[in-house]
Amino acid sequence: MINVAIFASGEGTNAENLFTYFANDTRIKIKLVITNKEDAGIVARAKQHKKTVQIVSKQALQNYTHQLIEFLNVENINLIVLAGFLLKIPHEFVSAFPNKIINIHPSLLPKYGGKGMYGNNVHQAVLTNNESESGITIHFVNEEYDKGEIILQAKCDVTLHDTVKTLATKIKKLEFDNLPKAIEQFL
Ligand code: GAR
């Protein structure tokens, strides 16, 4: 059995897609959600799906890392999925879960990764640079931002007619299709 903890800071649409996808799965359970923002969309979505939500502030993530690790161990969490989680993960946390933390990023890494590159900032940069394709990357998390080993990538075309909004829609579709599959690879 794989018990998953989702870390999210935003709307939580990827998290919600996972709640639904794995709702009746006997091998993979989305057990709880960790967020640093108590008013983020993810909180309402998680509650709707009757998931436990734990608020962990930026300071708590840095100063009480050990306690968070303990909590996740007590809950038997064996896979952590960063789905739009915008804080840097402390080294101690990464070492506690080797090859058990994955992140989804809305570009074809190594392009458009690193600090400040999240959500629509990424899509805007892709359009500004007249890229003809973009996509998503699902990768392991290591000590460096957006640099861990790649698990999978999926691509979409970028056309002259694309806007941040249309590109975001294409990227979300790729994320919804591929993140559950990447998690299933851990079985
Ligand atoms: C997703 O598109 C995810 O790839 C991105 O944030 C969005 C979260 O949306 N992550 C990053 O940009 C990480 N650098 P959601 O909260 O609706 O799932």
The answer to whether the predicted template modeling score (pTM) of the entire model surpasses 0.85 is yes
**What mean pLDDT is reported for the chain?**
97
Q: Which of 49, 91, 105, 161 does the annotation list as catalytic?
A: 105
Rounded-to-integer distance, Cα 111 and Cα 11, Å: 24
Atom 11 of ligand 1: nearest residue by CA position: 118
The ligand 1 atom nearest the CA atom of 8: 16
pLDDT of residue 146: 85
Confidence check: pLDDT of 147 > 90:
no
**Residues 46-89: tens digit of each pLDDT:** 999 999 999 999 999 999 999 999 999 999 999 999 999 999 99
Confidence check: pLDDT of 111 > 90:
yes
- For ligand 1, residues with CB inside 6 Å are 8, 10-15, 83-84, 104-106, 118-119, 175
Q: Give me the mean pLDDT over the 141-166 stretch.
A: 94
DSSP E strand stretches across 88-132: 101-105
pLDDT of residue 144: 83
Domains of the chain (ranges; CATH) run 1-97 (3.40.50.170), 105-187 (3.40.50.170)
**Residues 11-26: tens digit of each pLDDT:** 999 999 999 999 999 9
Query: In sequence order, which residues have a C-beta less than 8 Å from that of residue 74 and are 6 or more positions away?
Result: none
- Calculate how far, in angstroms, residue 76's C-alpha sits from the geometric centre of ligand 1: 25
Q: Cis link prior to 110 (omega < 30° from 0)?
A: yes
Q: Are 7 and 81 in contact (CB under 8 A)?
A: yes
